[in-house]
Amino acid sequence: MKVYRIHITSWTTSFRYPNMISGFQPTLSVPPLSTINGLISAAKGDYFCISTEKLGFFFKYKTKTVDLETVYQMGRRNSQIKSNVIKREFLSDAELFLYTESEEIVGFFRNPQYQLLLGRSGDLAQVNEILEMEITEKKELEKVKGTIIPFRKHKVASPIQALPAYFSNEIPRRNIGTQPYFIVDCKSEVSITAKGFSDRIGNENIDIYWQEF
């Protein structure tokens, strides 16, 4: 089976926990599906949502640390605007390996229409490589890491977080398809019975899980 591997990198990235507005801002250790859909939409230059296309990803980073950030809190009047300093967690030297069988999606990343962001507005990303490869699908995945796994489909020893699959295309935006997922960090490893395939990244053999939309 032919698939494409899109290698995207960013110096920094941060994936905000849903509904966490004030106080310390932690980051997820992997992107939610809504971020993946946002990346594809930016590359296309228009709203896009994965539906029937096969898509998998592996995300890794080098370090996790905390920075100080100035935020501005607004009231009902301009006189009520005040600044505050919060601690925000972020990941450094991030790499996303995005897998798809869709030539249409790959075409978007060959010539992105908008700037790619791997997280927040300051987390600028770039496409390093697009590789065509042949894979053999399998149903027993033993080295799954750096991704998310639906809680309702599988049971693994990882943190659980409710995450959206999409955001709507109107203002105010609504999150769509929210459900609980296992967060599988790139520094851990789990085994599941599910459709996927293997790839070698650097010196590691990784099993890639086909995400369900």
**Angle between helix 103-110 and 33-44 (nearest 10):** 60
pLDDT band at 23 (very low <50, low <70, confident <90, very high): confident
Sorted by where each begins, the domain ranges of the chain are 2-209
Confidence of residue 64 (pLDDT cuts 50, 70, 90): very high
pLDDT value at 22 more than 70? no
User: What's the pLDDT band for 75 if we cut at 50, 70, 90?
Assistant: confident
Structure-model confidence comparison of residues 74 and 12, the more confident one: 12
Q: Hey, what CATH class is 2-209 in?
A: alpha beta
103 φ/ψ angles, rounded to the nearest 5 degrees: -70, -25
pLDDT tens digit string along 50-60? 888 899 999 99
Q: What is the pLDDT of residues 165-175, one digit of tens each?
A: 988 888 888 88
Of the candidates 118, 89, 120, 121, the residue with the CA atom closest to the CA atom of residue 25: 89
Residues 6+ apart with CB under 8 A from 13: 27, 31, 61, 90, 91, 94, 118, 119, 120, 123, 125
DSSP string, 111-169: S-SS--BSSSTT-BEEEEEEEEEE---EEEEEEE-SEEEETTT---SS-EEEE-SEE-S
